[in-house]
Amino acid sequence: MKKHKAISIFLVFFVLWAWDNVHAQNFELNKIVPVKNIKLHSIKDRYKISLPIPQRWKIKQATLSFRYSNSTALLSYKSRLVVYLDDIPLSQFVLDPKDAEKTALVDMPGRMLTPGYHSLTFEVAQHSERECEDPFAPELWSVIKLGEATLSVDYEKKAIPLSLSAISEYIGDPKIFPSQKINLVLSSLDREWLEIGAIVAGGLGARMQYRPVQITVSSHITQDVDNVVIATRKELSKLGVPHGTDSRGPWIEITHIPLPSTSNSTHEQADFDRTHALILVTGDDMGQVKRAALAISSMSFPFPQGPYVQVEKTILPEIEPYHRKQALYPGEPVRFKDLGFKTHVFKGMTREPKKVEFFLPSDLYIKPNQYAVLLLHFGFSSALRKDSTMKIELNGKPVSSVHLDNENGAFYERYKILLPTYLFKPGKNVLSFDSTLIPLIIKRCEGFHDMNLFLTLFDDSTMLFPSMDHWGKMPEIGYFFDSGFPFDRKITGEGAAFLLLDKDFHAATLAMNLAAYLGQISGMSPAEISVVFDPSDAKDKDLMVIGQASKLPQDIDQKAPIGLFGQSAQIRYPQFLDLTQVSKRSMWQKLEEKLESYSRLFPVAGKNQISEVHGQKVKLDEKTGLLMEFESPFRKGKSILLWTGKDSGVFLSASQMLWSGRLRSLASGDLVLYSTTDPKKVYSFKIGPDYYTGRLSKTEKVDFLLRSYPWLFYSVLGVCFLVLAVIFGAYLRWRRKKRLAHEI
């Protein structure tokens, strides 16, 4: 009887454990992969995405749900939409003109969804004529609404192995969706511990590559998430953290999360949540803990296979300013492969462009009258019609096209294309290649095939951007979300600091998320970033200030674009309408605009009308957060990025919105207002004065002054003409005098 009772209890606990680890969840597809609604053309077209499956999930079943619409001119009996997973067809749908708007469900068996990346392909065959059809007829189209698609996943969480290699495979896995959640356990919020926490957070962000990682900070272990404990060995026992060794020195160890009911038990007796990891970053003193933090933030795969490692030494590479991942260094040729591009083959008549994403320094003084050089390495097949092309776009604008006019095929190395520098922008840029490959023989009533059509673009193609000085116009909050500027001048964080106005866990959470964000953008943990509580400790640095509005120092408050926190508020708003087009202008203003419109040397900038509002007793509510950027009152050319609100609760919302696409896409200017309860409410303004950051050479200073003040340029030009006229007139008078003297 006792035996049967024990078996029954075991089965009950097993069922409860299995139930707790089985999850059925719906995800928005655009939160997993960057997709949007797509339009497929011609008689045959396709679109492919890469679907990530995390290592820590065992997928039992997944269902993709999406809507699609097709042209009513299609013939239903031979028009189809087929969905492939790893080139294996899963579902096919009739493109019926009588029912042109449908919802599709695609079931994906778990045995096919092993950990890794899987290609999910949407391919259409579209026909509008029974015979003699035009393969590029405009009525051949279908729209697949992937931007609104959902993915339902039934999965089971795996037990995390007690091996440090699990940090890369299970915890720092960029395939985890929609985001990774990690809790940092700090023994205190003192400056030194927060700086070590920023090192670990930055390393986690860099390891996740492109996936959001939401970090919380607490003084205790949190259940149902992975935890990283940063403390000395003496403090581990105070925190109730089990550890399996008493060895000395810097130490990194992985174990499982102890369950709350047995958190005070010994390591051998405790029950654990084996689906989440507890990572210990420890040492005998703070210096050793920092050494372990540097090791775990910079250690690349594969990690050691054991559950712990003793760190002897950590040597970080020397990083030059403005060097980072996917960076285009002015004056240096950069290969496409160093920008993350892999050799790509364009096949058939499908229209699927390939992109090269790269970053330029946000404070680069881009002069418009120069050219960047593309040296392309590519080859294409024979039997291409002479109007086949490869189109090149920069930031969404067509800039060039390569004529594939050799019917016998060709292979090119160092094919030179010039791109005007004024088409580039500070921060992130996107270079896109798109092919139009047309068969040589394609007649209306004759069959044709496109299996032999290809164009291969190799990853050893290079791009060279001319050398330019660093002199950027600020403020621009969009630069921070785009590339981390101005805190990315050195990706190690040197020259940057967090200024926390209070020792608060909410403010610390935002600071750690900002460190993770910088690590993810740059590809390296900001190991040298400082944390201060007094602005006098970092006057010569770019500051990220985090604090309640009521606790802002007076010199920072007065420098901010809006002063909501004093006795009187002064706000400068742009007018609802641009009234400058109808307002009266002087003759000199009209002449200046006319000259600027004819000249490529000067950008034509609008002169916006600004209204000013003065008020008193302006208050913030708990649901509103503010993000502002302005010049530091402590050092000219340095910047302050201020995160503030009525109370510290706004920082928790800010740390989550930091990773949201809406805030990143809408943030610009020098003031961003956002709602902590409604993520759709994000408002950006440019209301404060401009300033410049960086340094110009003497010759570039002259160029900058002439470009910034067109009348100065024209005045100098006029003076030069006048001097030349005087010299030429004097020369003519001398020649005349000499000639007359000779005649006499």
Alpha-carbon distance 260 to 257, whole Å? Answer: 9
Q: Over 70: is that where the pLDDT of 3 sits?
A: no
- Average of pLDDT values for 502-519? 95
More reliable by pLDDT, 2 or 229? 229
More reliable by pLDDT, 346 or 568? 346
Angle separating helix axes 710-743 and 698-708, nearest 10 degrees: 100
Band of the pLDDT at 324, cuts 50, 70, 90? confident
Alpha-carbon distance 702 to 677, whole Å? Answer: 49
Strand extents, DSSP E, 259-404? 272-282, 308-310, 334-335, 344-347, 354-360, 371-380, 389-394, 397-403
> What pLDDT digit, counting tens, does each position of 9-46 carry?
444 444 444 445 566 899 999 999 989 999 998 888 89
What are 121's strand-pairing partners? 48, 84
| DSSP assignment string, 365-426 | ---TT-EEEEEEEEEE-SSB-TT-EEEEEETTEEEEEEE---TT-EEEEEEEEEEEGGG--S
More reliable by pLDDT, 302 or 146? 146
Q: Using the structure block, give the residue that is written with the tokens 């149902």.
A: 224
What are 573's strand-pairing partners? 611
Band of the pLDDT at 246, cuts 50, 70, 90? low
Please say whether the beta carbons of 397 and 420 come within 8 A.
no
Lowest-pLDDT choice from 9-18, 103-112, 439-448 = 9-18
Confidence at residue 563, expressed as pLDDT on a 0 to 100 scale: 72
Alpha-carbon distance 155 to 59, whole Å? Answer: 4
398 token code pair: 């067509």
| Three-class SS state of 76 | coil
Q: pTM for the full model?
A: 0.86
Band of the pLDDT at 90, cuts 50, 70, 90? very high
Alpha-carbon distance 77 to 96, whole Å? Answer: 8
Confidence at residue 616, expressed as pLDDT on a 0 to 100 scale: 62
Maximum C-alpha span of the chain: 145
Q: DSSP character for 676?
A: S
Confidence at residue 181, expressed as pLDDT on a 0 to 100 scale: 94
Alpha-carbon distance 217 to 644, whole Å? Answer: 18
Alpha-carbon distance 188 to 239, whole Å? Answer: 11
Alpha-carbon distance 454 to 129, whole Å? Answer: 27
CA dihedral in degrees (654, 660, 664, 665; nearest 10)? -140
Alpha-carbon distance 677 to 650, whole Å? Answer: 10
Q: Over 70: is that where the pLDDT of 596 sits?
A: no
Confidence at residue 187, expressed as pLDDT on a 0 to 100 scale: 86
More reliable by pLDDT, 559 or 433? 433
Q: Which helix (H) or strand (E) holds 610?
A: strand 610-616
> What pLDDT digit, counting tens, does each position of 452-484 carry?
889 999 999 999 999 988 888 999 999 999 999
Q: Which residues contact 728 (CB under 8 A, 6 or more apart)?
A: none
Q: Over 50: is that where the pLDDT of 263 sits?
A: no
Q: Amino acid identity of 18?
A: A
| Three-class SS state of 711 | helix
Of 696, 686, 705, 701, whose CA–CA distance to 474 is shortest?
686
Q: Using the structure block, give the residue that is written with the tokens 């092919």.
A: 435
- Average of pLDDT values for 718-738? 85
| Three-class SS state of 123 | strand
Please say whether the beta carbons of 147 and 30 come within 8 A.
yes
Band of the pLDDT at 444, cuts 50, 70, 90? low
Alpha-carbon distance 161 to 490, whole Å? Answer: 36
Q: How far is residue 675 CA from its own chain's centroid?
A: 22
What separation in angstroms does the CA of 236 have from each of 64, 240, 271, 505, 660? Answer: 45, 6, 18, 19, 34
Confidence at residue 102, expressed as pLDDT on a 0 to 100 scale: 93
| DSSP assignment string, 629-653 | EEE-SSSTT-EEEEEEESSTTHHHH
> What pLDDT digit, counting tens, does each position of 179-199 carry?
999 999 998 999 999 999 999
What percent of the chain lies above the pLDDT cut of 90? 51
Confidence at residue 546, expressed as pLDDT on a 0 to 100 scale: 95
Tally of CA atoms within 13 A in the half-sphere of 211 that contains its CB:
21
Q: Which residue stretches of 441-526 are H helix?
A: 477-483, 505-522
Q: Over 50: is that where the pLDDT of 142 sits?
A: yes
Please say whether the beta carbons of 498 and 516 come within 8 A.
no
Q: What are phi and psi of 152, to 5 degrees?
A: -95, 125
Q: Using the structure block, give the residue that is written with the tokens 């003699």.
A: 132
Q: DSSP character for 247?
A: -
Q: Over 50: is that where the pLDDT of 120 sits?
A: yes
Please say whether the beta carbons of 642 and 556 come within 8 A.
yes
Alpha-carbon distance 312 to 695, whole Å? Answer: 40
Q: Over 60: is that where the pLDDT of 555 sits?
A: yes
Tally of CA atoms within 13 A in the half-sphere of 52 that contains its CB:
20
Q: Over 60: is that where the pLDDT of 603 sits?
A: no
> What pLDDT digit, counting tens, does each position of 566-578 carry?
555 556 655 555 4
Q: Which helix (H) or strand (E) holds 592?
A: helix 587-598
Q: How many Cβ atoms sit within 10 Å of the Cβ of residue 331?
A: 9
Q: Which residues contact 715 (CB under 8 A, 6 or more apart)?
A: none
Band of the pLDDT at 725, cuts 50, 70, 90? confident
473 token code pair: 């116009």
Lowest-pLDDT choice from 62-66, 87-91, 370-374, 711-715 = 711-715
More reliable by pLDDT, 286 or 4? 286
Q: What is the mean pLDDT of the chain?
A: 85
Q: How many Cβ atoms sit within 10 Å of the Cβ of residue 8?
A: 10
Alpha-carbon distance 485 to 493, whole Å? Answer: 11
Please say whether the beta carbons of 450 and 397 come within 8 A.
no
40 burial level (CB within 10 Å; 0-12, 13-18, 19+): buried
